Each structure stands twice: as C-alpha cells, then as structure tokens.
Amino acid sequence: MPRVSELFFRTAIVFLLVGIAIGLHMSISQNHNVTGAHAHINLLGWVTSALFGGYYALNPAKAEGKLPMIHFGVYTLGVAVMTASLYLLLQGNLAMEPLVAVSSLVTFAAVLIFAWVIFTPTSARIALRPAE
C-alpha cells in the first residue's frame, strides 16, 4: 500500500477516536452545543480521510510523487485546526472565528489539490516529478 494511503488511514482512525470521544462527552453531559464540531471531525476527518486513503490505495500511480504527500499534509492540518477551533468557537470562544475561517479555506485548498490529482492524467503527473 502506498505510504500516503497508510497515513490517511491512520489519521482517519485518530479523527474517528476523537469524534467518538466528543460524541460520548455530549451524550454523558447532555450538552450538545458542539454538534457541529463532532459532525465535521467525523465526516471530514474520519470519512473523507479514509476515502482519500482508499483512492490512493486503489490508484498507486496517483500516489507517487510529492503532490499526494502535500495533499495529506495540507488536508490534515486544515481539518485538525478547523475542528479544534470550531469546537472552541461553539463552546463560546468567539476569538476562534477567524481561525475557523482560515482553516476551512486550507481544507478547501487541499480538496482542490485532490481534484487536481484525480483529473490530471497519471503520465502527466509523473512527468512533473523531479528526476531521481
């Protein structure tokens, strides 16, 4: 399995564990004010990261080069910062709003990188790699 797939799958599990912990905390405390953060970490963190990992595993030629690793780094950073700052924002820390906005844009940029990976022919992407 390509390294980027393994990284996306491992990160997805971490996001899932955090998402479940948030859900349990909400259930136990009967305070559901962070439902938005819970949903984002589960859907963007767990589900989407796992889908990215699966795509790269099924298309190993697309997992080659630096771009998939850049995609992983940018996406993971964006989702981690976005969900943490959203959690704090929903807890009442209004100072987090700009960080939520910026990290959302970072996450979106990572999705655009993935779109580039998908729509660019493999041969063209490989030709863009530096000579080894």
- What pLDDT digit, counting tens, does each position of 89-104 carry? 999 999 999 999 999 9
pLDDT-based confidence at residue 19 (cuts at 50, 70, 90):
very high
Our count of domains for the chain comes to 1
Q: Is residue 91 part of a domain?
A: yes
Q: How far apart are CA 83 and CA 74, in angstroms?
A: 14
Q: Is residue 132 part of a domain?
A: no
Q: Is residue 21 part of a domain?
A: yes
Query: Is the alpha carbon torsion for 38, 39, 42, 45 positive or negative?
Result: negative
Q: How far apart are CA 21 and CA 23, in angstroms?
A: 5
Cα 114 to Cα 17, 66, 68, 117: the distances in Å are 24, 12, 8, 5
Mean pLDDT of the region 33-58: 98
Higher pLDDT, 32 or 122: 32
Q: Is residue 37 part of a domain?
A: yes
Tokens 């996450």 -> residue: 107
Could you tell me the residue range of the domain that residue 83 belongs to? 3-127
Query: Percent of the chain, pLDDT > 70?
Result: 92
pLDDT-based confidence at residue 130 (cuts at 50, 70, 90):
low
Q: Is residue 92 part of a domain?
A: yes
Q: Is residue 87 part of a domain?
A: yes
Q: Is residue 17 part of a domain?
A: yes
pLDDT at 50 over 90: yes
* CA end-to-end span of the chain: 21
pLDDT the model gives residue 123: 66
Segment among 46-55, 112-121, 123-132 with least mean pLDDT: 123-132
* Angle (deg, nearest 10), helices 49-58 and 67-90: 170
pLDDT-based confidence at residue 122 (cuts at 50, 70, 90):
confident
